[in-house]
Amino acid sequence: MRTLIKFENIVKEFDGQLVLKGINLEINENEFVTLLGPSGCGKTTLLRILGGFVDQTEGKIFFEDIEISNVPAYKREINTVFQKYALFPHMNVFDNIAFGLHIKKQSKDIIQQKVNKMLRLVGLDGFEDKMVTLLSGGQQQRVAIARALVNEPMVLLLDEPLGALDLKLRKEMQHELKKIQKEVGITFIYVTHDQEEALTMSDKIVVINNGEIQQIGTPIDIYNEPENRFVADFIGESNIIEGFMIEDYQVMFDDKKFECVDYGFDDKESVDIVIRPEDIDIVTPEMGMLKGIIRSSIFKGVHYEMSVETEYRDFIVHTTDYTEPGKEVGLHFFPEDIHVMYKMGTY
Amino acid sequence: MSTFRNLVKPYMLWMGIFIIIPMLLIVFYAFTTKGNDVITVKFTMDNFLKFFDSVYIKVLLKSLNIALITTIVCIILGYPVAYIIANTKQKTQTLLMLLITIPMWINTLVKTYAWISVLSDNGIVNSFLAKLGLAPITMMYTDFAVTLGMVYNFLPFMILEIYTALAKLDRSLIDAGNDLGANKLQIFQKIVFPLSLSGVISGITLVFLPSVSTFVIPKLLGGGQYMLIGNLIENQFITVGEWNFGSAISLIMACIILISMYFTRKFDQDKSENGNKKEVKHA
């Protein structure tokens, strides 16, 4: 795949506060990339810098190997779906979608044709004469997507576009967005704080915290091999434990030695260890690697979320089998379920 | 609920005494002849017919004309000012809007007298011209002076209304326009201006209506011979003592204002059809 966009050491300062601390990132053609992080981590700022709405304090942006750092927003081949859609309230659906084409002075026939094609793509045929203010949130969302895509950009930026929708609609739109992306075959850069959304849709996830990239990888990489405590904690639920490596494939925590699949650390190096709640099995106390007492068991729909108190810490365990609180149990996990990470700030 | 409803009653009484009854009195005067008493009431249409004399119609047309010019000048001067203010920093905006509204705290009469000392034959402007060795210009008692006085007095209302419309404009709409390839001028033409029209319309209402009926400004800056519809009404009541005719003119004016308000409202609704205003209705 060809590199389409390259961020080179992007720094952004707002009133003396560093929002982005030197972002280096490459984005390929036809990729669905998600910038994921908690609110205030700088992900939206990075997107707005790419869109041309905010100037970076330092650093360069390349688009197809041409620097676009100083190209104004209206000249960039990038379109945006804004957080609150930003539809023009004085225009109907057709005129909203046709706005960009009108600006480019395209002929009436072509505009008509392209807008109709977009309306079909987002499933809004027959809505062209409706005023946008009369549409539901989901419909406005579709108009916003159509309005951006009709300009045939090479990149579509989406700034938390599903944030205002209810859960069911959000899930529907997630699949639809992914479908649209495959259909039009362009790069989508998607900003969200919702890790589930990121895991569902992305080809590549960029986890950002405090203006720094924490990890870049596929959803599976990010989930299974979090690079540090922050990523492990932010993506899904996890038990994060401090420990140290005895040698390759041997880690020690809670005064016990465990086999693991990680290597390449220094001997006796302090590490963070993550064990996902669904990777822990509840067994009889004799069979377990750690012993503990179940303190609570909450029904979550598909699984029970249990809190198991052991000598050193409470473990969260997800299991489909109910065990009543107060019972003494053993915890069992396999070597590949133990993920060893570098301590934050040392990698 | 009902206890709250009772609270409205004193207000309704107040409205009745101070608004409804005086209005009814005006209507009563307009349709009767002079010299009525409690027992004999003579109804007539003469007061209205009298108005359709060419002299009075001319006064009416002149009033409408001056008010129209005032309104247009206010839009031309007010829009850029409001636009510039709305695009400054939040703190600067507050300060500038305060400066714009300060003159509104001062009595119209005082402000208009101040203009006399500026415009009169040996006023500030003319003494300055004399120093430069230029011939003095007569400005007092002309249409120019009256229009200037009106523009000066009513401009803050126009700025205030347009500024409010511009300030509440969603900034992300401008980003969206930018994103879709529109340059600054195109964004203004296609997004900012259409969405600020509601402010312009309410500005027109706030400037045009008082300009049509004002009598202080034309009296002071236009002189005793200068006759606009407001002065005509004032004269009928105070100088001539023709309360019946004065009331009839007032009613005619009220009708004209009502009709013009109807049309501006209608225009406003057509423009922002299904826009912000209708959204509220449908919500």
Cβ within 8 Å, pair B170-A86: yes
Cβ within 8 Å, pair A74-B179: yes
Query: A42 to each of A38, A145, A266, how far by Cα in Å?
Result: 9, 23, 33
Output the pLDDT for position B223: 87
Any chain A CB within 8 A of the CB of B90?
A: no
Instruction: Kindly report, residue by residue over B183-241, the tens digit of the pLDDT.
Output: 999 999 999 999 999 999 999 999 999 999 899 999 999 988 888 999 999 999 998 88
Mean pLDDT of chain A: 91
Asked if pLDDT for residue B279 goes beyond 80, the answer is no
Residue of chain A whose Cα is closest to the Cα of B193: A90
B180 closest CA partner among A5, A106, A119: A106
Residue of B179, B191, B282 with shortest CB distance to A88 = B191
Cβ within 8 Å, pair B173-A86: yes
- Residue indicated by tokens 């895509």: A149
| Cα distance between residue B129 and residue B122, in whole Å | 10
Residue of chain B whose Cα is closest to the Cα of A157: B179
**Pairs of residues, one from chain A and one from chain B, whose beta carbons lie less than 8 Å apart:** 80
Classify residue B40: in a domain, yes or no: no
Grade residue A2 by pLDDT with cuts at 50, 70 and 90.
confident
Any chain A CB within 8 A of the CB of B117?
A: no
| Cα distance between residue A148 and residue A81, in whole Å | 6
Output the pLDDT for position B265: 80
Grade residue A347 by pLDDT with cuts at 50, 70 and 90.
very low
Residue of chain B whose Cα is closest to the Cα of A83: B172
Grade residue A345 by pLDDT with cuts at 50, 70 and 90.
low
A247 closest CA partner among A236, A258, A234, A232: A258
CA B264 from centroid of its chain's CA atoms: 13
Classify residue B42: in a domain, yes or no: no
Classify residue B59: in a domain, yes or no: yes
Domain-wise residue ranges, chain A = 3-224, 237-342
Any chain A CB within 8 A of the CB of B42?
A: no
Biggest alpha carbon–alpha carbon distance for chain A: 78
Q: Which helix (H) or strand (E) holds A115?
A: helix A108-121
| Cα distance between residue A326 and residue A118, in whole Å | 59
Grade residue B274 by pLDDT with cuts at 50, 70 and 90.
very low
Q: What is the three-class DSSP state of A205?
A: strand
Question: Helix count (H) and strand count (E) of chain B?
Answer: 16, 0
Cβ within 8 Å, pair B178-A151: no
Range of the domain at B155: 53-282
Any chain A CB within 8 A of the CB of B81?
A: no
| Cα distance between residue A335 and residue B30, in whole Å | 101
How confident is the model over A24-30, as a mean pLDDT? 94
From the number of C-beta atoms within 10 Å of its C-beta (0-12, 13-18, 19+), residue B28 rates as: middle
Do the beta carbons of residue B146 and residue B69 sit within 8 Å? no
Residues 6 or more apart in contact with residue B97 via CB below 8 angstroms: B85, B160, B163
The alpha carbon of residue A202 is apart from the nearest alpha carbon of chain B, in Å, by 24
Any chain A CB within 8 A of the CB of B180?
A: yes
Output the pLDDT for position A165: 84
Grade residue B282 by pLDDT with cuts at 50, 70 and 90.
very low
Q: Which two tokens stand for residue A111?
A: 């505009």
- Residue indicated by tokens 């005064």: A255
Output the pLDDT for position A277: 92
Contacts of A52 in chain B (CB under 8 A): 178-179
Instruction: Kindly report, residue by residue over B45-56, the tens digit of the pLDDT.
Output: 888 998 988 899
Residue of A86, A88, A103 with shortest CB distance to B186 = A103
Residue of chain A whose Cα is closest to the Cα of B270: A90
A75, A76, A88, best to mutate vs chain B, most B CBs in 10 Å: A88
- Residue indicated by tokens 């005129």: A95
Q: Which two tokens stand for residue A36?
A: 């994921």
Pick the more confident residue, A163 or A125: A125
Query: B148 to each of A206, B38, B155, B202, B249, how far by Cα in Å?
Result: 63, 46, 10, 21, 26
Any chain A CB within 8 A of the CB of B282?
A: yes
Q: Which helix (H) or strand (E) holds B183?
A: none
Contacts of B278 in chain A (CB under 8 A): 131, 133
Residues of A near B (Cβ–Cβ under 8 Å) read 51-53, 72-75, 78-80, 82-84, 86-90, 92, 99-100, 103-104, 131, 133-134, 147-148, 151
Classify residue B7: in a domain, yes or no: no
Neighbours of B53 (CB within 10 A): 10
Contacts of B274 in chain A (CB under 8 A): 92, 131, 133-134
Cβ within 8 Å, pair B279-A89: yes
Asked if pLDDT for residue B35 goes beyond 80, the answer is no
Classify residue B111: in a domain, yes or no: yes
Cβ within 8 Å, pair B172-A147: no
A161 closest CA partner among A128, A138, A181, A179: A138
Q: What is the three-class DSSP state of A6?
A: strand
A131 DSSP 8-state letter:
B
A274 closest CA partner among A246, A237, A305, A220: A237
Output the pLDDT for position B167: 94
Instruction: Kindly report, residue by residue over B124-176, the tens digit of the pLDDT.
Output: 999 999 999 888 888 889 999 999 999 999 999 999 999 999 999 999 999 99
CA B220 from centroid of its chain's CA atoms: 18
Q: What is the three-class DSSP state of A169?
A: helix
Homologous superfamily of A3-224? P-loop containing nucleotide triphosphate hydrolases (3.40.50.300)
Residue of chain B whose Cα is closest to the Cα of A51: B179
First to last CA, chain A: 28
Q: Which two tokens stand for residue A274?
A: 């993550």
Grade residue B281 by pLDDT with cuts at 50, 70 and 90.
very low
| Cα distance between residue A97 and residue A178, in whole Å | 20
Cβ within 8 Å, pair B180-A79: yes
- Residue indicated by tokens 């007539």: B44
The number of folded domains in chain B is 1
Residues 6 or more apart in contact with residue B90 via CB below 8 angstroms: none
Contacts of A53 in chain B (CB under 8 A): 175, 178-179
Percentage, residues of chain B above pLDDT 70:
93
From the number of C-beta atoms within 10 Å of its C-beta (0-12, 13-18, 19+), residue B202 rates as: buried
Q: DSSP letters along A250-291, please? A: EEEETTEEEE-S---SPTT-EEEEEE-GGG-EEE-TTT-SEE
Cβ within 8 Å, pair B278-A131: yes
Output the pLDDT for position B191: 95
Output the pLDDT for position B278: 37
**Taking the CA atoms of chain B, what radius of gyration do you get in angstroms?**
23
Instruction: Kindly report, residue by residue over B71-109, the tens digit of the pLDDT.
Output: 999 999 999 999 999 999 999 999 999 999 998 888 889
Identify the CATH number of the domain in which residue B59 sits.
1.10.3720.10
Neighbours of B103 (CB within 10 A): 13
A262 closest CA partner among A214, A220, A227, A213: A227
B91, B168, B180, B201, best to mutate vs chain A, most A CBs in 10 Å: B180
Neighbours of B257 (CB within 10 A): 15
The alpha carbon of residue B190 is apart from the nearest alpha carbon of chain A, in Å, by 9
| Identity of the residue numbered A132 | V
Residue of B176, B183, B194 with shortest CB distance to A86 = B176
A96 closest CA partner among A72, A121, A73, A130: A130
Cβ within 8 Å, pair A99-B177: yes
Asked if pLDDT for residue A38 goes beyond 90, the answer is yes
> Which residues lie across from A275 on neighbouring strands?
A239
B81 closest CA partner among B198, B159, B194: B159
Output the pLDDT for position B271: 58
How confident is the model over A326-346, as a mean pLDDT? 86
B43 closest CA partner among B244, B266, B251, B250: B244
Q: Is A52 left (phi over 0), alpha (psi -120 to 50) or beta?
A: left
Classify residue B248: in a domain, yes or no: yes
| Cα distance between residue A344 and residue A17, in whole Å | 22
A47 closest CA partner among A161, A152, A137, A144: A161
Asked if pLDDT for residue A25 goes beyond 90, the answer is yes
Output the pLDDT for position B147: 95
The alpha carbon of residue B192 is apart from the nearest alpha carbon of chain A, in Å, by 10
Domains A3-224 and A237-342 share a fold: no
Cβ within 8 Å, pair B190-A99: yes
Q: Which fold has domain A237-342?
A: OB fold (Dihydrolipoamide Acetyltransferase, E2P) (2.40.50)
Cβ within 8 Å, pair B180-A134: no
| Cα distance between residue A83 and residue A44, in whole Å | 10
Q: Which two tokens stand for residue A107?
A: 């002929």
Residue of A83, A88, A100 with shortest CB distance to B181 = A100
